Amino acid sequence: MTPKAGAASFRSAYARALGDYLRDPSEASLRVAYELGRDAVRRQLSVLDLAISHQEALLPAVTGSAGSTEQQRTIRAAGDFLLESLCSFEMVQRGYGEAREAAWRERRRTQMSRQLSTFLADTSLALDDSGSLEEMLHLVAEQARELLGGDCCVATVAAHDQPRTAEAASYSQPDASWAGLVRWLDLPEIYRLLRVSGGSLRLAGDQLSDLALFRNSNGGWELRGWLGASLTALDGSELGAIQLFDKQAGRFTEDDEAALVHIAQTASAAVERAGLYQRSR
């Protein structure tokens, strides 16, 4: 059915349903208006199509009414019918829009995660010089921040009792405050916090302000949210961590945490592989 034919058949159905409601303004006949609003979305009609359908159905009804009192009753009842249709139209259309947006975000997240996994699995990373480790961490921080919608992401690698042998950070906007926060992070305590939490943790609001760890390190910066995951070798030893700060929309979710854990696992394998190669040399 073409859009034009779909609009024409919808107008006919709307006119019949409005006529039935004006003759018998019951809940059952008003329910049809609700279903018509849903049907308009399924047919990909616009609010204008709905308004035209109402106008074309209302004019004959008003013309056939006897006296001004009857006309007013007809117009009020027809208005109720239209509002019911518009209500369901808005609800369903918004739901479709949100579903499409969610599907797009999930496809984007899957695509970026696959690209990052492919890059980190490249064996040439282990054969390059030490500078490639910082480049790899920078890519991890960039993609994790964009993927999960954080304002700041920092990835750190620890080795030989040094908590910060390699580091990379990514910011949604240039801000010296973020650089200061990253510089003063108490990494040993953060590694410990993640370790006792099972390898990942997310905190928000008061949970952050209640921890001296973040009060002492942020220099007065009021954090809205934090999400962290450990970088861990196959033997369970700590390699470092990935941390995200301040989700741009809302709070970090359980799905965000699961995604960061996956990124951390993939990055851990690349870091460990590079370390094994360097030691073998």
108 belongs to a structural domain: no
Residues 142 and 71 in one domain: no
265 residue type, one letter: Q
Residues 135 and 44 in one domain: no
Q: Torsion angle of alpha carbons 89, 92, 98, 99, nearest 10°?
A: -140
Tokens 């007013």, residue? 72
Note the pLDDT of residue 126: 46
State what percent of residues in the chain have pLDDT above 90: 15
Note the pLDDT of residue 227: 95
Residues 235 and 152 in one domain: yes
Note the pLDDT of residue 69: 65
Q: Give the angle subtended at the CA of 82 by the CAs of 79 and 21, to the nearest 5°.
A: 80
Among residues 162, 128, 117, 160, which one has the least CA distance to residue 264?
A: 117
pLDDT digits (tens, 9 = 90+) for 190-216: 999 999 999 999 998 778 877 777 765
Q: Tell me the average pLDDT of the chain.
A: 77
Residues 70 and 149 in one domain: no
Mean pLDDT of 38-50: 77
Note the pLDDT of residue 279: 53
Q: Do residues 48 and 7 make contact, with C-beta atoms less than 8 angstroms apart?
A: no
Residues 82 and 166 in one domain: no
Q: Do residues 268 and 120 make contact, with C-beta atoms less than 8 angstroms apart?
A: no
Residues 17 and 143 in one domain: no
131 belongs to a structural domain: yes
114 belongs to a structural domain: no
Burial 83-120 (b: 16+ CB within 10 A, else e): ebbbebbeebbeeeeeeeeeeeeeeebeebbeebbeeb
Note the pLDDT of residue 198: 93
| CATH number of the domain where residue 260 is located | 3.30.450.40
pLDDT digits (tens, 9 = 90+) for 91-135: 766 666 566 666 556 666 666 666 666 655 554 554 455 457 788
**Rg of the Cα trace of the chain?**
30
Note the pLDDT of residue 100: 63
105 belongs to a structural domain: no
Q: How far is CA 55 from CA 32, 108, 180, 226, in A?
A: 17, 43, 63, 54
Domain end call among 41, 67, 99: 99
Note the pLDDT of residue 243: 95
User: Which long-range contacts (C-beta less than 8 Å, at least 24 apart) are formed by 115-119?
Assistant: 115/143, 116/140, 116/143, 116/263, 116/266, 117/266
Note the pLDDT of residue 65: 58
Instruction: Say which residue, 78 or 99, is predicted with more confidence.
Output: 78
Q: How far is CA 207 from CA 53, 64, 131, 252, in A?
A: 54, 67, 37, 13
Question: Which phi and psi (to 5°) does residue 251 adopt?
Answer: -115, 160
Note the pLDDT of residue 96: 61
Residues 138 and 242 in one domain: yes
Across the beta sheet with 150-159, the strand order is 162-171, 150-159, 238-247, 225-232, 200-204
104 belongs to a structural domain: no
Burial class (CB in 10 A: 0-12, 13-18, 19+), 136: buried
Residues 145 and 269 in one domain: yes
Mean pLDDT of 226-233: 92
pLDDT digits (tens, 9 = 90+) for 150-177: 999 999 998 877 888 888 899 987 777 7
Residues 193 and 126 in one domain: yes
Residues 183 and 74 in one domain: no
For residue 8, the enclosing domain spans 3-99
Residues 87 and 151 in one domain: no
Count of all residues that appear for the chain in the document: 281
42 pLDDT above the threshold of 60: yes
DSSP type of residue 167: E
Domain end call among 47, 68, 99: 99
Number of domains in the chain: 2
78 belongs to a structural domain: yes
